[in-house]
Structure 1
Amino acid sequence: MLKTSYLLLIIYTFFSLEAFCQNLHLKINGKSNDDIEILKKIDYKKKHINYTSITQEVNALQKQLYKIGYIENSLDTIDQINDSTFVATIQLKTKYNTIYIYYNKNVIEPSMIQFISKTMHDNYFVIDIENTESILTHLNSKLIEKGFPFSKLYLSQIEVKKNNQLKADLIIESKTQKRLLNNIIIKGYENFPKAYLKHYLKIKKNKIFNLKEIKEKAAQLNNLRFANTIKPPEVLFSKDSTTLYMYIKKTKSNGFDGFLGFGTNEETTKLAFDGYVNLSLENNLNYGETFKLEYKSDENDQKTFNADLSLPYLFNTPIGIDFQLNIFKKDSSFTTVNQSAKIHYQINPKHKISTGISSVESNNLLNTTSTLFIEDYKSNYATFEYQYLKSQHQNLLFPIKTALYLETGIGKRKTLETSEKQTQWLIDSYKIIALNNQNSVFLRMNAKNIISNTYFENELLRFGGINSIRGFEENSILASFYGLTNIEYRYQLNSNIYLHSITDIAYFENQINNTKEKLYGYGFGFGILTKSGLLKFNYANGKNEGSPFKVSNSKIHISLVANF
C-alpha cells in the first residue's frame, strides 16, 4: 500500500510539473498604438514551456522585424503579469523601405544585378529592404558559379539616406583566387569511358569550378544504361588545386529479348508459331559502344536479320558513327538488303542528331515474270534523324518515360529501265502519363510513309504484330503509308508486376491495290519482373473495320527481356 502511494505521488507530481511547464503564455505589445496594430499582423508562438523559450521567441521576432525594415526596433521590457503570463513591449520606430547598395563593378558584374533590381547604376543598385537577404544569397550563389566557392557577402557602412531609405556598401570576401577544376578521379568504375565525361556530361578539366552545376550534370549519368552514380560527387580543395571525386558503378547493360507467338493460320486453320530473338551488347569494351543483333521468323514465312553497331565519341570527339545492316527474305519471292552508315552528334543526354547515307538492293527470286509488282531495284538515300529520350531509371518496369524519333530520307530508286525520285519519313513517339504511383497511361504514335510515283511490292512497308498493332500476324500488312496509335492503361500492383489493357488503332494505304483501311486491336496483358528479366504476356484480338471479332483471330504474344 505504501509503494502504491509513493507511485501515485510521483505520477501526480510529474504531470503537475508538465502541466505547469505548458502553461506559460507570451503576449507581444507595442509601444504605441501604431506599433500595436502592426505587431498584431505578425505571427509568433504564444505558448512556452519556460522563460528561456519566451526570450528566444522575442529575439526571433525582432530579427523578423529587422528583415522587413524595422532595423531600429528595440525591446523595452518583458513583464510578468501573473504566474503564467508574460508581456514583451517592443518599440518599432522607423520603417525603412528601400536600400541603396554600392558595389564594385570589377567584382560584381552588372549582368548579375539586372534581374534583381529595377534601378541599377554604374556603382549602386536599389532593392526593397525585405528582399535584402534573398538577394545577397542569390549574388553569393552567382559568385560560386564564377569559381569562388568560399566567398562571403555582407553589408557595411549602413547609413540612413532620406525618406525612409538606407544606403550601404556591399563587401565581398574571398580567401582564394578563382577556382578551376584541376583533376577528376573516378571511384568504383575506374574504366568508365572518359569521353562521356567530356562530351556527354560536359565536365571538363581547367574549367571554372561550380559544384552545383557538376552535381546536376553527374545526375545525368543515370540516363546511361551501362553506368549510374553511387553517391553525389565530392570535392577536395587544396591550396592550389581542386579535385573532383565521382562515384560510379558499372551496371548490367547487355540485353536479350525474345518472344514466342502463336495463333491459328487463316488458310490452313492449323496452329502457327512465330517469334524473334534480339541480342544487345553494350559497353563490353568500356568504350560505350553498342552492338545489336536481331533475327525474326514469322508465320508468313518471312525472315528478318538486323545488325547495328554504334561507336560514340570517336577519337575523343563529340562525333560518333553508326552502321546498320538489314536483310529481309519473303519466302521464295524476293530478298531485300538495306545498308546504312551515319554520323551522329550527341547534343546532350536527351537529344541526338544523325545524318548519313542508306543503300537498298532488292532481288526478285521468282522464276516467272508473271508478277508485275516485284522488281529488281536499287535505292540510295541521304538521311537525317533526330532522337529525344527522357529516362526514369528508378522505375525498373518502365525505364523510359518519353521518347521521340524522327527520320527522313531523300533519294532515288533505280531499275534496269527507270530512275525515280523518292522520299521517306518516319515518326515514332511515346509517353507515359503518370496518374499516381500505381496508375498510368501509355500512349504511342507511330507513322511511316514512302512518297513515290510508282511502287513495288518488295519495297512496301510491313507492319503488324507485337511491336505495332497487336492481334495481327507479324509483318503481315503491306502499306505505302501507315499510322498507328497504341494505348495502354497500366495498373502497377507493386514494383515488379503490372497489368495493362490493349487498345490499338491503325490506318494504312496501299497504292498498288488502292487500299485504304482501318484496323483495330483489343486485349490485355501483364508484365512480371523476374530474376531472369522482364516477362511480358499479351492477348489481343484484331479485326478490320466493319468485320466482326473472331476468337480464331486472337494472338498470344510472350516475350522475355533479360539483362546480363
Structure 2
Amino acid sequence: MIRILLILSLLSSIRLWSQQTYFLSIHQAKEFQFKKDFYTFKTKKEVETFLQQRQFKLIKKGFVLASIDSLNWKNDTAYVQLYKGEKFENIHINIKKEDEYIIKKTPSINEKIMGDFPFSPRLVQSMLKNISSYLNNTGYPFSKVFLKIDSLQIKGSHAQLIIEKGPLVKITQIFVKGDQKINKKFVQNIISIKEGHPYNSDLIRGISRRIEQVQFIKEIKPAEILFKPEGAELYVYLKNNPVSLINGIIGIQPDPTTKKTTVTGDVRLKLQNLLKRGELLDINWRSYQPQTQELKLRLNYPFMFNTPFGIDTKFNLYKRDSSYLTLNFHAGMQYFLLGGSYLKVFYELDNSNLLQGTSSSTTGEFSTVKSNNYGISFFYNKVDYIQNPSKGLLIEVESSAGIRKSNEAGKDTTLTSTTFKGRLDISVFIPLVKRHIIRLSNTTQTYYAPNIFKNELYRFGGLNTQRGFSEESLLATTLSVFSIEYRFLVDKNSHAFAFFDQTFYENTAVEYRNDHPYGFGLGYSFGTKIGIFSISYALGSQQNNPIQIRDSKIHFGYIAYF
C-alpha cells in the first residue's frame, strides 16, 4: 500500500513539473522598446494579450500604424514581427463655423489648440470626450462627436471635427413619487434641476448623492428619465424620514454655595421639515453646573421663494453663575451651491453684561462689552455621504470684523476698539481598505482685540472639540485642535473609532497663558432617525500632568447635520 502511494506521489510531482510553458521571441526587440527579446508565459492567451498591449502603447504614443505583422508558432514558441511605422507629429482639426461656440465653451479646449493638436489617440479621445460631456450637460444627450480624417501625413495630418448635436432636450416635468410630505420645489432646489431647464447628464447622475446629503429624505430607488418628443420627464422616488425630536434629562441638586436647590440638565426641541420646505427650528437648553446655564436657538430656512438663497439665524444666551450674562445674535443670508455647499454673509451682535457677583476686585478681568460684527463664511462639502463619510473633504471658513464698546468693571469710561474673529474647520476622510477609514481634522479659532476680557473667551473641551475634558472647561483667545481618528464602518450610518486629539491654545486675557492638552480614547457612533448618536471614553492631560484614570471622561451626544 505504501509503495502504491509513493508511485502516485511521484507521478503527481512529474505532472506538476511538466506544466506547459510558452515562449515569445521578438524580432528587433530594442527598436520596439522591449527590455529583452525573449519572454515566457503560462498560456497562449497571455502571449496574445501581451502583444496587443504593446501595440496599443505604441499607438497612444503617436505610432498609429503600429501593427503585428506576423505571429508564427513552432511547438511552444511564438515568433513575432512587429511594424512600428513613423510617428505622426500633429493633426490640424478643422471646425465648422457654427460649432465654434461649442469649442469656446468647452473647458480646456480652444481654437488655437485645435489648429496644431498633438497626434495622440489618448489626447484626441480626451478632447472628443470633453466636447461630448459639454453637449450632454447643456441639453443634447443624443449628440455625437467624432473626427473625419481627410489626410494622414507624418509631418501634419488633417481632419474635420464632426458635431451632431441632435435635438435640444429640456426637462418638461419632475415627478416626486412615494411621499406626499416632500415638497417638489424643495426637491428641485436640492438636486439643482428645475422644470424648463436643459437636460444635464452630470446633474442627473448626481441625484442620489445629493439626496443622501439631506437627513430627512431617503431615496426609495434611483431616479428615472423618460424621453418624449416634447422633452424629458424626471421621476424621483423619495420617502420622508422624520428627524424632529424632543428629548432631555433634568436633574435637581443642591448649590454648594447658596445651599439652595438648583435645576440642571439638557433639553432639546428640534423641528425640521414640518412645512415641507426643509426648514429647521432647533432649541437647546442645558445647565451642567449650578447657576450656570446656556440657551441656544437656531432658525434655518433654505431656498426662499424657490431661489438658491436662504436665511440662517441663531441666538445664544450664556449665564455664568452670578458673574456675567452673554447674549449673541447671528443673522445670515446663505447662497447654496451644488452638493450642500454654500456661501454666507452675516451680521453678529455680541452683548455681555456683568452681574452683581462681579466685584470691583476683578477690575481689568471682566467688562461689559457690546460688539457689532460683519462677516462672511464658506462651507464646502465634497464627501460621499455626510452622515457617515468614507471619503472626501469638508471645509468651513468664517471671518468677521467689527467695532466693540467696553466698560471695565469698576470704571465709568467707555472704550471703542476694532475686533476680529476667524475660524477654520477642515476634515479629510481617507479610505484605507474596505470599511477602514482615517479621519484627519483641524479646528482653529482666533479672537483679536487690543485687550480681551474673561467673559469674551472661547469655551472649548468635550465631545465636539478636545475630548478627554469636561464640556467647555477650557478657555482661550486662540486655539487649534488637531485630531486623527481611525474608523471602522459597521454599516452605512455607524462606525467604531479610536482617536487622538491635541490642542495648542493661548489665553491673553489679563495675563498670558498657553498649553497643549491632549486626549485619546475609543468610541462608537450609530445612526438613528434623528441623527448620529456618539459615545466615547477618553483620557486627557494638560499642563504636563500625568494621565489619571480617575479623571477619565465619557462623552455622549447627538451629532446632527442640517
TM over 0.5: yes
CA distance in structure 1 between the aligned counterparts of 2:363 and 2:256, rounded to whole angstroms = 26
Change (3 A) 1:63 1:151: farther
Tell me which of 543, 551, 558 is aligned to 1:554. 551
Range moving further from structure 2, 111-120 or 246-255: 111-120
Map of 1:129-148 to 2, 5 A cutoff?
130-131=121-122, 132-148=124-140
Distance 2:120 2:105 in 1: 18
- Secondary structure (helix, strand or coil) at the match of 2:305 reads helix
Determine if contact 1:274/1:297 at 8 Å carries over to the other structure. Answer: yes
Residue 341 to residue 419, structure 1, CA distance change in 2 (3 Å):
farther
3-state secondary structure, aligned to 1:284: coil
State how far apart, in whole Å, the 2-side matches of 1:246 and 1:486 are.
41
The corresponding residue for 1:383 is 374
Name the residue aligned to 1:527: 524
1:398-477 mapped onto 2 (5 Å cutoff): 402-413=394-405, 417-422=412-417, 423-432=419-428, 434=430, 436-437=432-433, 438=436, 440=438, 442-449=440-447, 451-453=449-451, 455=453, 458-470=455-467, 472-477=469-474
Compared CA separation, residues 510 and 238, structure 1 to 2 (3 A): same
CA contact under 8 A between 1:492 and 1:499: conserved in structure 2? no
Query: What is the alpha-carbon distance in structure 1 between the residues aligned to residue 469 and residue 34 of structure 2?
Result: 73
For the residue of structure 2 that corresponds to 1:106, the secondary structure is helix
1:171 aligns with 2:169: no
Match of residue 150 from structure 1: 142
Deviation string for 1:332-369 (max 9, x for gaps)? 44433333433333344223322124252525245987
Kindly indicate whether residue 290 of structure 2 is the aligned counterpart of residue 311 of structure 1: no
Give structure 2 stretches of 5+ with no counterpart: 1-14
Alignment of 1:22-421 (within 5 A): 97-108=89-100, 109-111=102-104, 115=108, 126-128=117-119, 130-131=121-122, 132-156=124-148, 158-159=150-151, 165-174=156-165, 176-189=166-179, 191-194=181-184, 196=186, 201-216=191-206, 219-227=209-217, 229=219, 232-251=222-241, 253-254=243-244, 276-348=266-338, 349-358=340-349, 360=351, 362=353, 364-366=355-357, 372=363, 377=368, 379-390=370-381, 392=383, 394=385, 402-413=394-405, 417-421=412-416
What letter is aligned with 1:508? N
Amino acid at match of 2:209: A
Q: Which amino acid aligns with 1:246?
A: V
Shift of the alpha carbon at 1:129? 5.8
Distance 1:404 1:295 in 2: 25
Q: Take 1:126 and 1:277, find their aligned partners in 2: how far apart are those partners?
A: 66
Q: How far off is 1:182 after superposition?
A: 2.9
Alpha-carbon offset, residue 429 of structure 1:
1.9
Amino acid at match of 2:425: S
In structure 1, the partner of 2:12 is none
SS at match of 1:111: helix
* Cα 1:105–1:501 shift into 2, 3 Å: same
Deviation at 1:554, TM superposition (A): 1.4
d(CA) in 2 for partners of 1:461, 1:23:
72
So what's the TM-score if we normalise by structure 2?
0.72
Indicate conservation of the 8 Å contact 2:207/2:223, yes or no.
no
* CA distance in structure 2 between the partners assigned to 1:384 and 1:257 by the alignment: 34
Between the aligned partners of 2:40 and 2:132, the Cα distance in structure 1 is: 32
Q: Structure 2 vs 1, CA of residues 473 and 526 (structure 1 numbering), >3 Å: closer, same or farther?
A: closer
Q: String of CA shifts for 1:7-48, please: whole Å, max 9, x gaps.
A: xxxxxxxx9xxx99x99999898xxx8x99659899999998
Shift of 1:392: 4.0
SS at 1:147's partner residue?
coil
Decide whether aligned partners of structure 1 residues 199 and 407 sit closer, same or farther in structure 2, where only a CA change above 3 A counts.
farther
Q: Distance in 1 between matches of 2:53 and 2:540?
A: 69
Query: What SS does the corresponding residue of 1:150 show, helix, strand or coil?
Result: coil
Instruction: Give, in whole Å, the separation in 2 of the partners of 1:90 and 1:288.
Output: 65
Deviation at 1:536, TM superposition (A): 0.9
RMSD: 5.3
In the alignment, what sits opposite 2:10? Answer: none
Specify every segment of 5 or more residues in structure 1 that has no aligned partner in the other structure, as ranges.
1-14
Q: CA deviation at 1:381?
A: 0.9
What is the rounded CA distance, in whole Å, between the counterparts of 1:145 and 1:384 in structure 2? 35
Change (3 A) 1:429 1:54: closer
Q: What amino acid sits opposite 2:438 in the alignment?
A: S
Q: TM-score, normalised by structure 1?
A: 0.71
CA distance in 2, matches of 1:38, 1:368: 89
Larger Rg: 1
Deviations 1:466-508 (A, max 9, x none): 44445555445555x2424253543538454223345444432
2:479 pairs with 483, 497, 500, which one? Answer: 483
Distance 1:371 1:94 in 2: 87
The equivalent of 1:538 in structure 2 is 537
Name which of structure 1's ranges 484-493 and 67-76 shifts more when overlaid on structure 2.
67-76
Q: In the alignment, which residue of structure 1 is the partner of 2:497? A: 498
Contact 1:99–1:168 under 8 Å retained in 2: yes
Letter in 2 for 1:337: L
Q: What secondary structure, in the 3-state scheme, does the structure 2 residue paired with 1:107 have?
A: helix
Is the 2:370–2:406 Cα contact (8 Å) retained in structure 1? Answer: yes
Percent of aligned pairs sharing the same letter: 20
